[in-house]
Structure 1
Amino acid sequence: MIKTETGWPALPAAPDAGLLLLRLAGAFLLLYVHGVPKLLHYGSELHHIEDPLHLGAGITLSLAIFAEVLCPLLVAAGVYTRLACLPILFLLLVSMVFVHPDWSIADGQFGWLLMTIFASVAVAGPGRYRLGSLPRRGA
Structure 2
Amino acid sequence: MRALKRLIDPGSPDLGLLFARLAGALLLLTVHGLPKLAHWRTELAHIDDPLGLGPQLTLACALFAEIVCPLLVALGLFTRLACLPVVFLLAVSMVLVHPDWTLEQGQFGWLLIIVFGTLALAGGGRYSVDARLAAPGR
Look at both structures and tell me which one has the larger radius of gyration over its CA atoms. 1
TM-score, scaled relative to structure 2: 0.86
- Whether 1:52 aligns to 2:50 is yes
Partner SS for 2:67? helix
1:84-103 equivalence runs, <5 A: 84-103=82-101
Q: Which residue of 2 aligns with 1:120?
A: 118
Q: Report how many aligned residue pairs link the two structures.
A: 124
Structure 1 or 2: more helix by fraction: 2
Structure 2 unpaired stretches of 5+? 1-8, 134-138
Cα deviation code 1:83-124 (max 9, x no counterpart): 000000000000000000000111100000000000010111
Structure 1 unpaired stretches of 5+? 1-10, 135-139
For the residues of structure 1 that align with 2:45 and 2:10, how far apart are their CA atoms?
50
Partner SS for 1:94? helix
Once the 2 structures are TM-superposed, how far is the Cα of residue 14 of structure 1 from its aligned partner?
A: 1.7
Q: Which residue of 1 aligns with 2:80?
A: 82
Once the 2 structures are TM-superposed, how far is the Cα of residue 51 of structure 1 from its aligned partner?
A: 0.5
Q: Which residue of 2 aligns with 1:111?
A: 109
Partner SS for 2:125? coil
- Whether 1:35 aligns to 2:33 is yes
TM-score, scaled relative to structure 1: 0.86
Once the 2 structures are TM-superposed, how far is the Cα of residue 12 of structure 1 from its aligned partner?
A: 7.0
